[in-house]
Amino acid sequence: MPADDPAARLAERERELTALLVRLDADDASLRADRADATADDEHDPEGSTLSGEWQRVAAVRSATARELDDVRAALALVAAGTYGVCERCGEPIPVARLEARPQATRCVACASLL
């Protein structure tokens, strides 16, 4: 995929994030099944993390992944509308280097630093 094709980069990232969400949902389902097992007493297992801890980790990663996926889809909509790469705050072009590092960026560096 060409480096200057934001739609292709964003579409690829959308596929990666969607696949990651599928894996995280499977992990979550597995942890829920393990927690439902009345005989599981991992809270006192000195060998590793607890099911609760792992469940919290999966939930946090899933939440962050879902937010990023929303951002990527919003950026794809901007590409379709012809406004991709324009700062939503000041209306100036977002530097190419920023878009390469964070393709779903909606603000230039100066405006993003105000958040």
pLDDT per residue as tens digits for the range 2-43: 457 899 999 999 999 999 999 999 998 988 887 666 555 555
pTM score of the predicted model: 0.80
pLDDT band at 112 (very low <50, low <70, confident <90, very high): very high
Asked whether 58 and 27 are in contact (CB, 8 A), the reply is yes
Please give the single-letter amino acid code of residue 68: E
Three-state secondary structure call for residue 86:
strand
- Among 81, 115, 79, 22, CA closest to 103: 79
Asked whether 10 and 72 are in contact (CB, 8 A), the reply is yes
Query: So what's the pLDDT on residue 39?
Result: 56
Query: So what's the pLDDT on residue 83?
Result: 96
Phi, psi of 78 (to 5 degrees): -65, -40
pLDDT in tens, 43-82: 555 555 577 788 899 999 999 999 999 999 999 999 999 9
**Is the CA virtual torsion 17, 21, 23, 24 positive or negative?**
positive
